Structure 1
Amino acid sequence: MKSIFEILESGVQSYARQFPATFDRALGSQIFDVEGRRYLDFFAGAGALNYGHNNPVLKKVLIEYIESNSITHSLDLHTVAKAKFLNVLDQIILKPRGLDRVVQFTGPTGTNAVEAAMKLARKITGRTNIFCFTNGFHGVSTGSLSVTGNKYIRSAAGIPLSLSTVLPYDGYFGDHFDTIDYLERVLDDPSSGVDDPAAVIVEALQGEGGLNAASAQWLRRLERVCRTHGIILILDDIQCGCGRTGSFFSFEEAGIDPDIVTLSKSLSAFGLPLAIVLIRRDLDMWKPGEHNGTFRGNNLAFVTAAAAIEHFWADDAFTQAIRRKSAYLAKRLGQLVDTFPEHLSDVRGRGMMQGVRCADPQEAAEIATAAFARGLIIERAGPRDEVLKCLMPLTISDDELEEGLDMLEASVRVVVDHVPSAGIIPVLAGKATVSIC
């Protein structure tokens, strides 16, 4: 008998094919299906649940807000909830980092923020071209697709994707070639055939592209090139921001100052839709109503976002905990690569956004499937879905982190050693396992 999902849901569904269960409840780093089976969540809503499922601190303030009959939907009207969010964001996050920014509230998803950022950059400069990078991912609306690398995802647009130029990301040709040299040459050569861009859009750590981490030096050189040529630097921090790399913003360790920053996913802290664009004050050239959206005033998300910033970011204790767990994660993944060097190529990423690259993408699929059978939810990333991507909640306990990595190690061992194991779910066929946020 077919389920209601098979009868009524579009075939575009993706993650439900990778993790074939019907989930019922969740708390922290644990999620349970309708049969009561427990899973450890190394997926965290594709990075939207940095503070875990149903975080009790955030749940309490949300319930209190709802029960008080406070404003939920407000477009861009001023509300008490929005005022508190802006104050907390400014006082705890922006000012201590020397970021003088205005906040644009866009539609509620990351791709809405990216579209707004590119649109503003074109308005500011009068140019149309946008520079982007190999293996970048910025969303699936048409403008965002034009600066996204994945061929499979781009092909669904149904139209030519133009007004962008793809450049090689840091390390694309290995360690022997700094790809900023190529960028500088293209901009300095009047016969390069490449139009000067309005903006460069970049992720400091490419999530969907395979956990490629740009070096601090490369990011600083990129910033200098943008300043020299009057190019707007857009930093897409939608997945790798909000503490995922240790600091609140992924670019802090590089010491750069992007003109525009896009945030979404874990910004609301509770899985509620919220996206913003942080704009350098002198670049805020919007006129009233030039860019809007019905759901740009999600007050429920304002409430949980403000509470999360106050609770987790008022001092450096949370940052230190993330860095400690990140070091343990890197150590365990490094041991996996050392143990299975013919199957696992290297450790990718940084902070609590790390993973291992498999030499064979099919083995990556088999390992993820074996892990799910053991009660571990872990997705894949990279151009061939060859990277096993650890994206657990930042609040995960030490015991849960160890348990999840033990499950991952056992799953790798079963696959590479061809050890039969009862209960292993067959590998899903086709390209249904493409990672899409």
Structure 2
Amino acid sequence: MTQTARPETSSSPTPSTPSTPSSPAPAVAAVVPPRVHPAWWVALVAFLVLIGAAGFRATPGVLIDPLHEEFGWSRGSISFAVSVNLLLYGFTAPFATALMERYGIRRVVLGSLLLISAGSGLTVFMTARWQLVLCWGVLVGLGAGSMALAFAGTIAGRWFVARRGLVTGILTAGGAAGNLVFLPLVGLLAEGPGWRTAALAVALCALAVVPLVVWLLRDRPEDLGLRPYGAGDDYVTPPPAPPGAARRTLTALAAAARTRVFWLLAASFAVCGASTNGLIGTHFVPGAHDHGMPVPVAASLLAVIGIFDVLGTICSGWLTDRYDARRLLAVYYALRGASLLFLPVLLAENVHPPMLLFIVFYGLDWVATVPPTIALCREHFGADAGVVFGWVLASHQLGAAVVAFGAGMIRDATGSYDLAWTSAGVLCAVATVLVMVIRRGAPAAVPART
């Protein structure tokens, strides 16, 4: 962190503009820089928030069987609430940046945590399926969607110049780590005290993060009289975002939708969402339970995916800097599809080595698709890449929502998830072809400044 000592000493706690590249000599002795740049504390809070957002969103998958047993609701109808959750999570994400520009990061995050807490806590009083859709579908979906990958990108972009890629990767992996934290806990509570205790635990965890957000999360380093981590003396504070950020989001979508690349990326990423959040994330636990595996054990296996997801995402980012993003995506989708074709014969009452191999592989491949997909957005859409990726992410969640609902209907109709596993494997083969059709070429827009 000594890299940032000189840039930080040129900042002053007075209201002077920290972005003005004035001569640093007089200011060097004026301020002793903090041992730890506040950007790292902001990143830590963002990491915890993203862990919670992912965990809160993934929790309903563990509750499918308990809700089915208590209320007699079909798995399809319960899965519909999960699909609404996934859909709102995805389509809130493109507007999350606009919300943060308009109201500030801290206000949006606080509002999101309160929505999640209310949605989870109110489920203990529900008596009808529409209430499940309202609580877990609408409230938790909107809350988690406001803290999606756009939040990670905003934090990394505002608070870091050096290590920006690393921080983006860590925050992205933090979203996956939410499964590791919440799923075993929720599984144990649902199996023991009951699903209501699990829902209340989620609500309390959301509220527990609120004090940290109030204390440590700030919108920009300039609010503290500092420059971003790693910014040099030539750093200039970006101008405030112009009004109409939401309009720009829609304008970028309209422009991107006129290109073939956008639809190829959106369709392939929809398959990614279908085969991860929609299928495995939602139905692996009840699917394993159908074969006699206890819910806490199945939830723990799903949580292990989160461990290897962190490693896989970081490694994928490293590979994306060195190899063709299209070929990486093709390999990821092809291997994922092959593994899903074998899943029906791997599920059993007990955990065995081939199942562990599947879990490890699926974890490595879970969000490995994100870095190369972002790279392709940057290559083809330049300055609008962030907004376009937000819409590609929305397609990811649309695919997840469709399959989350469809797999539940398949289970109700056939008494098994086998058709759902194999159909997702075929879809991954289609995604392999889609990404290889994307051509390399000049960006469609002027590249964004860093």
TM-score range, shorter chain: under 0.3
The two structures have a TM-score, normalised by structure 2, of: 0.26
Larger relative strand fraction? 1
